[in-house]
């Protein structure tokens, strides 16, 4: 997940990917296995016990409330290539309510392949919708993406993707069309999936993937051949499955 600023994240810009601190990447000497050693601000990446992503397998069935969406039918989205992913920053006005707390949507972005595994297997891609509450905690909706039919809701974002680091245009985004019709979901407590790996995230990941075409997946992979953190141990956490 692309890191964003909050009271616990070293004062980064609220709508920016974590570009401050030590340089990090998805491979080699600055890759995921080394993140925790790149600087003390990234210590949680190696020392944390509630890290993300995880393998979504063997969940505990639970009577979970669904997510209450306060998303408009369409919103503006500023498309940017931040060097680690394609991110879409959105204006105020889109929010969810989860466990009685309201979280405002700040941005969403994409990973190739998926960061969360589904029963031990990665999917083609994954989208993360990053929401923040007034107290600085995060609720992130994970949407798995499988290869299939062309996704019309992704098309304007894909057409605007900058080939190099920098800002692209503002496009109209049909947010709810980027969600699966089946709202069965996994819930667990976790972290940002990029440095500083802060353990402040309420994860909600939908079990049913949406689809994108082979061409759409390939277009993203041309820019980011691999931008997914390996799965982390569940440790003493509970993985719940319910909703719908």
Domain annotation for the chain: domains and CATH numbers: 28-243 (3.10.200.10)
Q: Could you give the CA distance from residue 170 to residue 78 in angstroms, rounded to a whole number? A: 4
| pLDDT value of residue 59 | 98
pLDDT beyond 70 at 8: no
User: Catalytic residue numbers?
Assistant: 84
All residues at 6 or more sequence positions from 140 whose CB lies less than 8 Å from its CB, including other chains = 1, 128, 129, 130, 131, 201, 202, 203, 204
| pLDDT given at position 204 | 98
Residues found in the chain: 244
* pLDDT tens-digit readout, 34-65: 999 999 999 999 999 999 999 999 999 999 99
Q: What number is the average pLDDT over the span 92-111?
A: 97
Q: pTM of the predicted model, to two decimals?
A: 0.93
Least confident of 19-23, 165-169, 215-219: 19-23
Per-residue pLDDT of 185-210, as tens digits, reads 999 999 999 999 999 999 999 999 99
């Amino acid at each position: 997940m692309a890191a964003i600023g909050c009271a616990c994240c070293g004062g980064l810009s609220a709508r920016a990917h974590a570009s401050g601190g030590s340089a990090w990447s998805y491979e080699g000497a600055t890759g995921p296995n080394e993140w925790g050693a790149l600087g003390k601000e990234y210590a949680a990446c190696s020392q944390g016990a509630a890290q993300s992503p995880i393998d979504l397998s063997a969940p505990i069935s639970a009577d979970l409330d669904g997510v209450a969406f306060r998303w408009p039918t369409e919103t503006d989205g500023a498309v940017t290539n931040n060097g680690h992913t394609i991110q879409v920053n959105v204006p105020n006005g889109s929010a969810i309510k989860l466990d009685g707390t309201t979280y405002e949507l700040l941005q969403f972005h994409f990973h190739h392949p998926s960061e969360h595994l589904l029963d031990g297997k990665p999917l083609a891609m994954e989208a993360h919708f990053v929401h923040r509450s007034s107290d600085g905690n995060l609720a992130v909706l994970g949407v798995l993406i499988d290869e299939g039919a062309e996704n019309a809701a992704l098309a304007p974002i894909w057409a605007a993707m900058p080939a190099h680091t920098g800002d692209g245009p503002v496009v109209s985004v049909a947010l709810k069309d980027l969600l699966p019709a089946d709202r069965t979901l996994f819930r667990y407590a976790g972290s940002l999936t990029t440095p500083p790996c802060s353990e402040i995230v309420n994860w909600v990941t939908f079990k049913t993937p949406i689809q994108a075409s082979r061409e759409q997946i390939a277009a993203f992979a041309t820019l980011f051949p691999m931008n997914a953190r390996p799965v982390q141990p569940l440790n003493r956490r509970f993985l719940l499955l319910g909703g719908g």
